[in-house]
């Protein structure tokens, strides 16, 4: 039996016993987020915030995503500012964020801020799949020099070429989002960890956890590295006078949606999270075994989670957690789970049911949560702090999804726009 260490660099204020895999009880039903590890009920808001949140974060760190190192102080350089960007509609900043021991790869954050805003702007922050140069067709955005998967448009020998500029414009829909009154901040997830099965590059190779950069059973996987880098970007955003530090939303699609949820669950400065088709390891319940299973994800992407998660291949019922508990860690902050009808791999119903099962935590804290018993039909955004939306079509993210993200964020951030 191991004694718990609290993850994410927080002071240990509680201890719980973390059983080895073969001593974990089989639980066919969902574990109760409102029950302490010792079996006692969580009855009050302070019990939730002061103890249960830490327990649940520890469970996810220990058995699934791996422990992140403590926060490292950041140093930032503003490399480029364009005050008349997008025909004067926006201000563009390119920021390098450095942290950690010598040799730690920096994060390159692209920030586009609406210039029409009188006050600091709310912001959508998130990791991108193929480099900042892919989200806008702008020759002033340097091509990423990181490893990029071959499936990326305009990628040759795992390197970006000029042909890859602007190939993910729709995924971020930056002009549309700026027009709605939001800033967008994004960085390529490979700055934190290239998306391949190794532990030899990115933050893993530079920032030790428990004194070592070698991969242990509970070391951070790629999703934890991406989430950690999102936290370091938040460190920058809260200092930028053009950004409203109280309205930072993190958005992620698919694997980046998994990282967005984990980042939001471990950093209360993130005011709102949007998970788009994040599926297995994100918003979808593992115990359903629908679409992508734990075994399928660990087989294809063994580097995303901690090694300790591999034991749950075909053993989902031994998990002392499930994804509703990940969502509940956001409470009472808003979370939107967005699915697509034909994206069965991400198990839309499992995503809805996870949201629903997080609701008792919101209710304990005095909020209404989802307030919807069954899955809505397509095109309806339902819920209160817990929002759910399903659209027709398959896996992907684009302008019509951003309409929904903005609508959800507006209702919580109090933004009024022309499109309202
Ligand atoms: C694969 C993977 C999913 C992931 C998706 C994506 O389909 O199995 O878990 O969400 O890629 O990131 O697009």
Q: What angle do CA 241, 246, 247 make, to 5 degrees?
A: 95
How far apart CA 107 and CA 264 sit, in angstroms, is: 19
CA of 211 relative to ligand 1 center, distance in Å? 32
Report whether residue 255 contacts ligand 1, using a CB cutoff of 6 Å: yes
Domain 113-413, architecture per CATH: 3-Layer(aba) Sandwich (3.40)
Residue with tokens 């938040």: 234
CA of 189 relative to ligand 1 center, distance in Å? 14
How far apart CA 315 and CA 24 sit, in angstroms, is: 11
- H helices of 330-398, in order, are 348-364
- Relative to the CA of 257, which ligand 1 atom is closest? 10
| Residue from 130, 257, 262, 292 to probe ligand 1 pocket by mutation (most atoms less than 8 Å from CB) | 292
Domain ranges of the chain: 113-413
User: Do 14 and 55 contact (CB within 8 A), yes or no?
Assistant: yes
Residues 6+ apart with CB under 8 A from 173: 398, 399, 402
Q: What pLDDT tens digit does each residue of the chain (420 aa) get? A: 333 333 444 434 457 999 999 999 999 999 999 999 999 999 999 999 999 999 999 999 999 999 999 999 999 999 999 999 999 999 999 999 999 999 999 999 999 999 987 789 999 999 999 999 999 999 999 999 999 999 999 999 999 999 999 999 999 999 999 999 999 999 999 999 999 999 999 999 999 998 999 999 999 999 999 999 999 999 999 999 999 999 999 999 999 999 999 999 999 999 999 999 999 999 999 999 999 999 999 999 999 999 999 999 999 999 999 999 999 999 999 999 999 999 999 999 999 999 999 999 999 999 999 998 899 999 999 999 999 999 999 999 999 999 999 999 999 998 765 543
Report whether residue 298 contacts ligand 1, using a CB cutoff of 6 Å: no
- Relative to the CA of 395, which ligand 1 atom is closest? 13
395 CB neighbour count, 10 Å cutoff: 16
Token output for 287: 């115990």
Q: What is the 3-state secondary structure (H, E, C) of 196-239?
A: CCCCCCHHHHCCCECCECCCCCCECCHHHHHHHHHHHHHHHHCC
- What pLDDT sits at residue 14? 55
- What pLDDT sits at residue 95? 98
How far apart CA 142 and CA 132 sit, in angstroms, is: 8
How far apart CA 219 and CA 149 sit, in angstroms, is: 24
- Relative to the CA of 256, which ligand 1 atom is closest? 12
How far apart CA 131 and CA 290 sit, in angstroms, is: 31
| Residue from 221, 254, 290, 309 to probe ligand 1 pocket by mutation (most atoms less than 8 Å from CB) | 254
- What pLDDT sits at residue 12? 42
- The CA R_g of the chain, rounded to the nearest whole Å, is 20
């Amino acid at each position: 039996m191991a004694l718990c260490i609290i993850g994410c660099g927080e002071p240990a204020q509680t201890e719980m016993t973390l059983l080895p895999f073969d001593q974990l009880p089989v639980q066919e039903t969902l574990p109760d987020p409102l029950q302490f590890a010792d079996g006692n009920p969580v009855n009050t808001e302070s019990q939730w915030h002061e103890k249960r949140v830490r327990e649940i974060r520890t469970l996810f760190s220990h058995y699934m995503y791996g422990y992140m190192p403590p926060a490292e102080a950041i140093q930032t350089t503003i490399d480029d500012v364009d005050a008349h960007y997008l025909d004067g509609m926006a201000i563009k900043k390119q920021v390098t964020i450095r942290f950690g021991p010598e040799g730690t790869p920096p994060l390159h954050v692209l920030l586009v801020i609406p210039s029409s805003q009188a006050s600091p702007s709310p912001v959508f922050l998130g990791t991108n799949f193929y480099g900042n140069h892919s989200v806008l067709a702008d020759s002033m955005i340097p091509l990423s020099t990181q490893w990029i998967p071959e499936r990326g448009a305009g990628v040759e020998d795992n390197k970006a070429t000029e042909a890859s500029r602007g190939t993910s414009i729709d995924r971020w829909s930056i002009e549309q989002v700026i027009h709605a009154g939001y800033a967008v901040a994004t960085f390529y997830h490979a700055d934190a960890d290239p998306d391949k099965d190794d532990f030899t590059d990115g933050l893993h190779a530079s920032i030790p956890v428990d004194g070592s950069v070698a991969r242990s059973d509970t070391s951070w996987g790629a999703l934890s590295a991406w989430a950690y880098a999102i936290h370091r970007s938040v460190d920058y955003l809260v200092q930028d006078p053009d950004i409203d530090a109280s309205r930072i939303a993190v958005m992620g699609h698919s694997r980046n949606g998994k990282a967005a949820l984990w980042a939001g669950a471990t950093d209360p400065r993130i005011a709102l999270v949007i998970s788009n088709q994040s599926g297995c390891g994100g918003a979808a319940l593992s115990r359903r075994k629908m679409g992508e299973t734990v075994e399928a994800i660990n087989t294809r992407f063994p580097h995303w989670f901690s090694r300790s998660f591999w034991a749950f291949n075909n053993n989902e019922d031994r998990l002392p957690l499930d994804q509703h508990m990940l969502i509940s860690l956001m409470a009472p902050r808003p979370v939107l789970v967005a699915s697509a009808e034909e994206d069965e791999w991400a198990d839309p119903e499992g995503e809805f049911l996870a949201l629903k099962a997080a609701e008792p935590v919101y209710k304990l804290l005095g909020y209404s949560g989802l307030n919807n018993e069954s899955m809505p039909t397509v095109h309806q955004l339902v819920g209160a702090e817990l929002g759910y939306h399903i659209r027709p079509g398959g896996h992907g993210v684009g302008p019509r999804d951003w309409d929904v993200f903005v609508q959800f964020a507006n209702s919580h951030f109090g933004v009024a726009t022309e499109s309202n």
